[in-house]
């Protein structure tokens, strides 16, 4: 129906990577440390590990329908009506999360860098480039992510090397003190933010990838490398700031960058590091927004998804400003509602798809041949 877009497997890897670290790099160390204290990094490793299982589930489902997006899969599996209801829920999640990341980028900028600037200004600016990215299409997003991944790793390596002298190993001792429950809770937080939400990527995988089979491998690699970055950042936060300070910080990795001081010469570089977080937030936000716009266009049977970008983008910007009365509400939302919402769409729905597929396998194959 719509134009034929294809991205390479490597580009997909980069997108998965950015999606995995996205918001996590900014907020997860704090959440993990508040659950598991100095064992936060263990929770991060476990979360990443289980994440690979979920990626396996996603790719399995994706490869059953090599040329369909998640919305079309729903329709094929559940029929027109039920499928559309599920798809709408899925799109709603993507749309809300795009707005939430817009909110995150806004609070991050206005808390630390430009406190007197109204969030309207930062969010409109961020929103405009989000709409622009989606209008230019998936290929452009993918290609720009290819360029920015270099910038990301450059900044990331600088951060790690510069903060290394401040590491105090004692801070992670005693190891394995936290009980299983708090570690599990911590891992679940990371799992949901980084991997379960990656169900959105099923809008891209495998339909828009030129070699879906090999892309499957890259889905795993992207998720694993992203998880590794989170583990490293969490470890650094714990070892440099200590578990107590990490859990107290709103944005611990920014607090980490503030600590950089090499011989009184290289210091106050946190604003530069801020670019790192904004970069990750941007790609995650664009992918969420792209998924919601493109999916809606498919449901409405539109020839082109672009006409939807402006109205939905505007709604997203307004939503990002109005969604939480205060930061505290956001904390509560992140800890409760969003977790269950993501788990419903990202775990329960795919599992349901597996069951239905198992039952209707034969008929679907026949129909697939026919159409």
Partner 1 sequence: MKKQILILLIVSVFLTGCWNRRELNELAITMAIGIDKVDDEYLVSAQVVVPSEVSMNAGKGAAPVTLIQEKGKTVYEAIRKMTKSSPRKIYPGHLRTLIVGESLAEEGIGDALDLISRDWEVRSDFYVAVAKDSTAIEILNVQTTLEIIPANRIFNTLKVSEENWAATVGVTLDELMVDLLSDGKEAVLTGIMVTGNKEIGSSKENVATITPSAIIKFDDLAVFKDDKLVGYLTEDESRAYNDIIDHVKSTVGTVSCPEGGTIDIEVLSNKSKLKGKIKNGRPEVDINVQIEGNIGAIECSLNINKPDSIKTLEKLYEKEVENTINHSITSVQEKYETDIFGFGNAIHRSNPKEWKTLKKQWDEHFAKMTANVKVDVKILKTGTVNNSITEKWKD
Least distance (Å) from partner 1 to the CB of residue 133? Answer: 15
Rank residues 249 and 298 by Cβ distance to partner 1 and give the closer one.
249
Q: Pattern 170-209, binding to partner 1, x per CB under 8 A?
A: x--xx--x--------------------------------
| Stretch binding partner 1 (CB under 8 A), from 63-71, 113-121, 341-349, 350-358 | 113-121
* Residue 127 near residue 309 (C-beta atoms within 8 A): no
Nearest to 79 by CA among 293, 367, 284: 367
Q: Is 261 helix (H, G, I), strand (E, B) or coil?
A: strand
Question: Which parts of 246-347 are beta strand (E)?
Answer: 261-262, 266-267
* Residue 221 near residue 55 (C-beta atoms within 8 A): no
Least distance (Å) from partner 1 to the CB of residue 331? Answer: 16
| Stretch binding partner 1 (CB under 8 A), from 68-76, 257-265, 308-316, 319-327 | 257-265
| Residue 261 is a binding residue for partner 1 (CB under 8 A) | yes
Please identify which residue in 203, 236, 241, 257 interacts with partner 1, judged by CB under 8 A: 241
Beta-carbon count within 10 A of 151 CB: 12
Beta-carbon count within 10 A of 90 CB: 24
* Residue 305 near residue 71 (C-beta atoms within 8 A): no
Using CB under 8 A as the binding criterion, the count of chain residues that bind partner 1 stands at 21
DSSP assignment of 73-122 equals HHHHHH-HHHHHHHHHHHHHHHHHHHHHHHHHHHHHIIIII-TTS-HHHH
| Residue 326 is a binding residue for partner 1 (CB under 8 A) | no
Please identify which residue in 259, 269, 343, 354 interacts with partner 1, judged by CB under 8 A: 259
DSSP 169: G
| Stretch binding partner 1 (CB under 8 A), from 6-14, 106-114, 274-282, 335-343 | 106-114
* DSSP-assigned beta bridge partners for residue 267: 261
| Stretch binding partner 1 (CB under 8 A), from 140-148, 196-204, 256-264, 319-327 | 256-264
* Residue 98 near residue 292 (C-beta atoms within 8 A): yes
Q: Pattern 119-138, binding to partner 1, x per CB under 8 A?
A: --x-----------------
| Stretch binding partner 1 (CB under 8 A), from 82-90, 259-267, 298-306, 330-338 | 259-267
| Residue 268 is a binding residue for partner 1 (CB under 8 A) | yes
Nearest to 197 by CA among 334, 13, 60, 43: 334
Rank residues 36 and 96 by Cβ distance to partner 1 and give the closer one.
36
Residues that bind partner 1 (CB under 8 A): 111-112, 114-117, 121, 170, 173-174, 177, 241-242, 244-245, 248, 258-259, 261, 267-268
């Amino acid at each position: 129906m719509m134009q034929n877009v294809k991205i390479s497997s490597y580009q997909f890897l980069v997108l998965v990577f950015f999606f995995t670290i996205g918001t996590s790099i900014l907020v997860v160390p704090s959440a993990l440390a508040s659950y598991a204290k100095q064992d936060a990094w263990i929770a991060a490793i476990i979360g990443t590990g289980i994440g690979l299982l979920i990626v396996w589930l996603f790719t399995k489902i994706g490869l059953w329908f090599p040329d369909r997006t998640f919305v079309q899969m729903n329709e094929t599996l559940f029929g027109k009506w039920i499928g559309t209801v599920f798809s709408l829920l899925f799109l709603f999640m993507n749309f809300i999360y795009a707005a939430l990341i817009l909110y995150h980028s806004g609070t991050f900028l206005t808390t630390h860098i430009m406190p007197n600037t109204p969030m309207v200004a930062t969010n409109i600016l961020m929103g405009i480039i989000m709409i622009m990215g989606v209008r230019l299409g998936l290929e452009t997003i993918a290609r720009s992510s290819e360029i920015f991944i270099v910038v990301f790793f450059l900044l990331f390596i600088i951060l790690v090397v510069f903060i290394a002298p401040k590491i105090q190993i004692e801070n992670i001792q005693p190891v394995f003190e936290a009980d299983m429950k708090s570690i599990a809770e911590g891992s679940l937080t990371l799992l949901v933010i980084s991997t379960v939400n990656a169900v959105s990527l099923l809008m891209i995988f495998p339909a828009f990838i030129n070699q879906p089979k090999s892309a499957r491998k890259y889905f795993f690699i992207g998720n694993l490398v992203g998880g590794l970055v989170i583990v490293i950042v969490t470890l650094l936060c714990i070892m440099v700031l200590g578990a107590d300070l990490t859990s107290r910080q709103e944005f611990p990795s920014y607090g980490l960058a503030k600590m950089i001081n090499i011989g009184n010469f290289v210091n106050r570089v946190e604003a530069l590091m801020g670019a790192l977080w904004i970069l990750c937030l941007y790609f995650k936000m664009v992918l969420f927004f792209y998924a919601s716009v493109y999916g809606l266009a498919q449901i409405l049977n539109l020839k082109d998804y672009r006409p939807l970008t402006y109205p939905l983008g505007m709604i997203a910007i307004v939503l990002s400003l109005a969604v939480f009365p205060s930061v505290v509400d956001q904390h509560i939302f992140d800890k409760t509602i969003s977790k269950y919402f993501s788990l419903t769409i990202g775990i329960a729905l795919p599992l349901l798809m597996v069951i239905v597929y198992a039952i209707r396998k034969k008929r679907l194959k026949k129909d697939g041949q026919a159409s």
